[in-house]
Chains A and B, each alone.
Chain A
Amino acid sequence: QVYLVQSGAEVKKPGASLKVSCKASGYPFITYGLHWVRLAAGQGLEWLGWINPGNNDSRYSEKFQGRVTITRDTSTNTAYMELSSLKSEDTAVYFCARDLGMSSSVFEYWGQGTLVTVSS
């Protein structure tokens, strides 16, 4: 059974940075790509970026380029998403999602979500 377990809710101040983790189990970690997607209240889903856990290659949405970094630790089968220079508009639920393959960009399995609140 595939599981993606994310870290807990966070409250951040504007200008701060955020780091959310996503621990994978139930499948070979380096064989499938991982993405990060967010859902802000009153808005739709928004893709942030992707990582190949096997070779650490990553790609990002143009909107978040320069502000988001996705990394992984193969010793713990965990992926991380860092978002810097937080603004109130970054308040959202952040999800990690496993790709159908390595880079199909189809999200077959999802984490439970991490609520991030950005407020002064």
Chain B
Amino acid sequence: ENVMTQSPSTLSVSPGERVTLSCRATETVSGNLAWYQQKPGQAPRLLIYGASTRARSIPARFSGSGSGTEFTLTISSLQAEDFGVYYCQRYDDWPPSITFGQGTRLEIK
């Protein structure tokens, strides 16, 4: 099983600062990597897919990068509304096989 490990588990950052979240796989995932943001009581929200493609209506301050087994989500200038838990997700082309990381909780200082 391809296990996804996210770091750090929790992060507390001041508005305006740059944030980098990491996601590491035990096996190569090629470019099939997505990122989601989830706020309390809400459904997850798609941010990035294909490792670096921003989803519709996602602000440009969110960017994704990486390949192979190492991936990064960057928030260039943290806004107050960016709090929540961030999950990475690896997915196979076919048949569907999906694994999520355990999440990184992002708190606003």
Contacts and interface: CB of A to CB of B under 8 A. Distances in A.
Given A45-B89, A108-B55, A103 B43 contact: no
Interface string A54-91: 00000101000000000000000000000000000000
By secondary structure, the A interface counts as strand
Contacts of B92: 105
A35 to B, nearest CB: 8
A113 B39 CA distance: 13
Interface size class of B (residues with CB under 8 A): 20 to 34
A105 B98 contact: yes
A82 to B, nearest CB: 18
A105 B43 contact: no
Interface size class of A (residues with CB under 8 A): 20 to 34
Max chain A C-beta neighbours (<10 A), residue from B44, B99, B101: B44
Interface in B9-67: 32, 34, 36, 38, 43-46, 49-50, 55-56
Nearest first, the 7 A-B pairs at minimum CB distance are: A110-B43, A105-B91, A47-B98, A45-B100, A106-B49, A44-B102, A50-B96
10 contacts: A37-B44, A43-B102, A45-B100, A47-B100, A50-B96, A61-B97, A95-B44, A105-B97, A106-B34, A110-B43
Interface of B: 32, 34, 36, 38, 43-46, 49-50, 55-56, 87, 89, 91-92, 94-103
